[in-house]
Amino acid sequence: MAKIDFKPGNMLYPLPVVLVSCAHGEKTNLITIAWAGTVCTNPPMVSISVKPERYSYSIIKESGEFVINLTTSALANATDYCGVRSGRDVNKWKECNLTPAPANTVSCPLVAESPVNIECQVTEIKELGSHHMFIAKVTAVHVDDHYMDEKKTFHLNDSDLLAYSHGTYFTLGDSLGSFGYSVRKKRKKTSKSTREKSHKK
């Protein structure tokens, strides 16, 4: 298989695609972000990268906070719409029939239809070039109880999460194994005679 030289660029795919909600004063908006990531576990921190000319940029910079809302196949149309329409021109909440819900630690609303909402407070802004990175501390997390079982285990992967790769939205597809499965010891199968002997003891 031959390799072809390609121009340097952002080819790290697939990515999570999220709806970021923000608010400052009377301004509120939703922006679709594919450049979002985990920064640190302890303390929990995340990042999003936004172009300064985007309507949401000044809202987030002035308020110092935002909410990351995970997206699902049911939110695919809204996710795309919020990425191609500007909050300067339309009310995305209304156009996408999304429900704003109150947050605990920030003034911007959560997207009620999202399975996970991550409240964030900005700690640092890195002006990197075309995009500025907002590094933020996670101050609260909300999960949809629809995906919680009786043992209080959260089944996020049942929510049909979205991913973004090279200009296209995808659902995650089939599970290939859980973390660590490649080195996990397999249980030895016991023969029928061995089980019978054990039972007679």
User: What's the average model confidence in pLDDT over 7-33?
Assistant: 95
pTM to 2 decimals?
Answer: 0.90
112 near 97, Cβ under 8 Å? no
Query: What top-level class would CATH report for the domain 15-171?
Result: mainly beta
Using CB atoms within 10 Å of the CB of residue 103, give its burial: 0 to 12 exposed, 13 to 18 middle, 19+ buried: buried
User: What's the average model confidence in pLDDT over 96-118?
Assistant: 98
User: Residue 111: which pLDDT band, with cuts at 50, 70 and 90?
Assistant: very high
What's the token pair of residue 171?
Answer: 């659902």
Q: How many CA atoms lie within 13 A of 121 on its CB side?
A: 8
Q: Which residue has the tokens 């995808």?
A: 170
Amino acid at 197: K
Q: What is the pLDDT of residue 130?
A: 97
Question: What share of residues in the chain are helix, strand, coil (percent, to 5)?
Answer: 20, 35, 45
User: Residue 10: which pLDDT band, with cuts at 50, 70 and 90?
Assistant: confident
The answer, yes or no, to whether residue 64 has pLDDT greater than 60, is: yes
183 near 172, Cβ under 8 Å? no
Q: What is the pLDDT of residue 170?
A: 97
Question: Where along the chain do its domains lie?
Answer: 15-171
